[in-house]
Amino acid sequence: MTKTTSTRAQTILLVEDEAELANEIKIELDRLGYLVRTASIAEAADAARVGDAAMMIMDRIVFGEDSLKTLEVLRKEGVKVPVLVISALSSIDEKVHGLKVGGDDYLTKPFAMVEFVARVEALMRRLDDVRTTKLRVGDLEMDLIEQTVYRGDTKIDLLPREFKLLEYFLRHPGQVITRAMLLEEVWQYHFSLETNVVDVHISNLRKKIDARGVPSLIVNIRGAGFMLSANA
Amino acid sequence: MREFFRSSAVRVALAFVLATTVATTAVFALVYFQIGAANEARNRLILEDEAAKSVNRSIDELRNAFEVRMTHDLRRLDYAALFGADRKILFGNIDVLPAISLDGKSHYVTASRAPGGDNRLEPAIFVARERPDGTILLLGRSLLETLAFRRIVQSALATGLAPMLLLALAIGAFFARRASRRLTTIHDTIALIMKGDTHLRLPVRSRNDTIDKISRDVNLMLDEIMRLLVQIKGVSDNIAHDLRSPLAVVHAQLERGLESSGDEQLRTVVKQALTHIDKAMLTVSALLRLADVEYGPKSSKFRPIDLSAICTDLFEFYEPLATSKSIHMTLETQSPVPILGDGDLMREAVSNLIGNAIKFTPEHGTVSVSVTQEDGRPVVRVRDNGIGVEPGERDKIFQRFYRTASGHRVPGSGLGLSIASAIANLHDFDLRFDDNDPGAVFEMAGRKK
């Protein structure tokens, strides 16, 4: 699986005062090949300033202190390190606030580790803001200007939402994408669902983009979500 | 005793006594001054008039008139005398001309010798006027009567005030004692309620005074608190139950895992355990979500949103799911239906309704969504012809964790409708259930302004 390729010696700073959760996070990310260092808010901020962090994971409230304040300061100073905010504060207002002051993603506790890892991977592999006009995986090509999708020579007609869905997968090839991520990014729905609507949308998309006789481009990752095979 | 004086009832009683004293004294003072002044003004006029009329009478006439006056008309004139140009007495009942100007106007003299020869001094009003023949006419009126009247008023006040004060004090003390007794009862009752006798209520009499009104309000508040307490207890029981079941299963599974012989068996057990943990997390997340909504965004943060657009968006989102279950889905909108609200929350509420409808509708059923304006009120209806809700369960479905007997087979936190209802409430909307026979209609309508 993709996990064998992820031996990147990049430091992820973890600001989290719940020792057990911090430990679990560290073990999981270690296993994926990331270097994780736990830090206080001040330490993390200093490391980020000198470019010593590939990413920061911040608990919203650490030892009674609001870490978003530090984040806001960092962003004002122009520090661009990707930041994932994790928090027990789950209202949409809090989420919006977290993203507004400079968080790149906001995950509410309690979360499943697969969800957490997917968010971390998405941020770690986030492409720098390159203005790509074409996205491609194997013989599937999407033209963002023309708003067209081709599989080989065959043009594929997609509904607007299906187009957005596929675009999201193409922007994150080889990464685990959770249902919650799709809901947030493709539909802008910030609530959890008790139905498998997303799976139905994926299966409809598959029917349109998959070619006969070859495995589907989008695979199910059990207990986690979906993934667009990078080397199809 | 200090305690007694500090009680507000006693203070009220004392204030009552003070007020009574001030008011009574004021009335007496008014009578006192008013009567004196009116009497004096009238006397002055009479004297001046009399003096003016007497100026041109002959001396004999005057002498006669004086005698008649002195003997018959004591009420009006107390003093009458004629003095020569040399200011010596010619006749009359006063020997010395008082030191006043001879201008025919009345003057107040503090102490003049009383007529009749005894040496009493009394206040009086005099008018002196020079006649054409050089003689001086002096008329006067004693103020002794007015003074006596004033003295009567004074002594009336003195003798009347004391018993009246005592009476006011007694009445005040009586009411104060009664009020403080009631307050003490209320105080003691509240203390008992705080100690745990939650069934106790404050006494309310039929008379409906302020204390009764407040007592009744407090009782209502206590009832509401008790209702909430019972509800919270029910909710905690439900939470405990909803979390205990998956935890018990996980516990059993993990135990089995420990004893398992092979990797494969262990893996299966762990997977099953994870599923149940996920279920527990779903419950916890939904609960947190509910708390967020209930203590969540204030309406000051509401913005204009279009219910019609929200429903259309959700319809398109859910339609593939319905199609996959061979459920026919229809949408009726009247675009746009603007309201003030939180778009994310409204989306969540309607999503819960549509998701539920699809969940509880069997294959080949129909789910229809409509957004309309009725009498200026925005109304969202989600109608299905699925299994519906048993009549006995209809008022329970909005309660937390309530899942209908048939709904227990369908996965979910049991909080979806509670969340939708809380969101509706936040927006001044009512979420209601109606029977669709068969199936259910959930109607979310703006309240009448």
* Same domain flag for B308 and B409: yes
Confidence of residue A205 (pLDDT cuts 50, 70, 90): very high
Confidence of residue B169 (pLDDT cuts 50, 70, 90): confident
CATH number at residue B422: 3.30.565.10
State chain B's mean pLDDT as an integer: 82
For residue B124, tell me if it sits in a domain.
Answer: yes
Tell me the ipTM for this assembly.
0.83
Query: Where is the domain boundary, B294, B313, B341?
Result: B294
B416: which chain A residues are within 8 Å (Cβ-Cβ)? 194
* Same domain flag for B269 and B332: no
- pLDDT exceeds 80 at position B7: no
B321 close contact with A: CB closer than 8 A: yes
Contact B355 A90 (CB under 8 A): no
* Same domain flag for A120 and A154: no
- pLDDT, tens digit, 9 for 90 and up, residues B219-232: 999 998 888 888 77
* Same domain flag for B242 and B118: no
- pLDDT exceeds 80 at position A183: yes
* Same domain flag for A196 and A88: no
Greatest mean pLDDT among A69-78, B30-39, B64-73, B221-230 lies in A69-78
Rounded mean pLDDT of B318-347?
A: 92
Q: Are B207 and B215 in contact (CB under 8 A)?
A: no
SS3 assignment, position A215: coil
For residue B203, tell me if it sits in a domain.
Answer: no
Query: Where is the domain boundary, B127, B148, B169?
Result: B148
Greatest mean pLDDT among A57-61, B61-65, B110-114 lies in A57-61
Q: Is the dihedral of CA B415, B416, B421, B424 positive or negative?
A: positive
The C-alpha atoms of residue B25 and residue B22 are separated, in whole angstroms, by: 5
Q: Are B312 and A161 in contact (CB under 8 A)?
A: no
* Same domain flag for B271 and B378: no
Q: Which residue carries 């889905």 as its tokens?
A: B329
Query: Where is the domain boundary, A73, A92, A124?
Result: A124
- pLDDT, tens digit, 9 for 90 and up, residues B197-217: 888 898 888 878 888 888 999
Query: Where is the domain boundary, A82, A104, A124?
Result: A124
Beta bridge partners of B342: none
The C-alpha atoms of residue B98 and residue B77 are separated, in whole angstroms, by: 16
Residue B291: closest C-alpha in chain A = A91
Domain housing B420: 299-446
For residue B133, tell me if it sits in a domain.
Answer: yes
- Residue B250 C-alpha, separation from nearest chain A C-alpha, in angstroms: 16
Residue B45 token pair: 């006029």
DSSP annotation of B118 = S
Confidence of residue B349 (pLDDT cuts 50, 70, 90): very high
- pLDDT exceeds 90 at position B434: no
Contact A223 B271 (CB under 8 A): yes
The C-alpha atoms of residue A205 and residue A53 are separated, in whole angstroms, by: 37
- pLDDT exceeds 60 at position B411: no
- Ramachandran sector of residue B401 (left: φ over 0; alpha: ψ -120 to 50; beta: rest): left
Element containing residue B236 per DSSP (H, E): helix B210-259
Confidence of residue B355 (pLDDT cuts 50, 70, 90): very high
State chain A's mean pLDDT as an integer: 87
The C-alpha atoms of residue B441 and residue B432 are separated, in whole angstroms, by: 8
CATH number at residue A80: 3.40.50.2300
> Which pTM was predicted?
0.64
* Same domain flag for B272 and B351: no
* Same domain flag for B28 and B132: yes
A161: which chain B residues are within 8 Å (Cβ-Cβ)? 316-317
* Same domain flag for A120 and A147: no
CATH number at residue A205: 1.10.10.10
- pLDDT exceeds 50 at position A104: yes
- Residue A194 C-alpha, separation from nearest chain B C-alpha, in angstroms: 6
How many domains is chain B partitioned into structurally?
3
For residue A129, tell me if it sits in a domain.
Answer: no
CATH number at residue B246: 1.10.287.130
Q: Per the omega criterion (within 30 degrees of 0), is the bond before A110 cis?
A: yes
Confidence of residue A128 (pLDDT cuts 50, 70, 90): low
How many domains is chain A partitioned into structurally?
2
Residue B142 token pair: 């004693």
- pLDDT exceeds 50 at position A3: no
Looking at chain A, list the stretches that DSSP marks H as alpha helix, in order from N- to C-terminal side: 19-31, 41-49, 67-76, 92-100, 113-124, 160-171, 179-186, 197-209
B351 close contact with A: CB closer than 8 A: yes
- What percent of chain B shows pLDDT beyond 70? 89
* Same domain flag for A202 and A224: yes
Query: Where is the domain boundary, A91, A124, A157?
Result: A124
AA identity, residue B204:
V
* Same domain flag for A158 and A46: no
Greatest mean pLDDT among A122-136, A217-231, B147-161 lies in A217-231
* CB-count burial class (<10 Å; 0-12, 13-18, 19+) for B151: exposed
Rounded mean pLDDT of A57-68?
A: 89
Domain housing A165: 134-228
Confidence of residue A8 (pLDDT cuts 50, 70, 90): very low
Element containing residue B202 per DSSP (H, E): none
* Same domain flag for B237 and B271: yes
Residue A165 token pair: 């869905």
DSSP annotation of A73 = H
Contact A195 B358 (CB under 8 A): yes
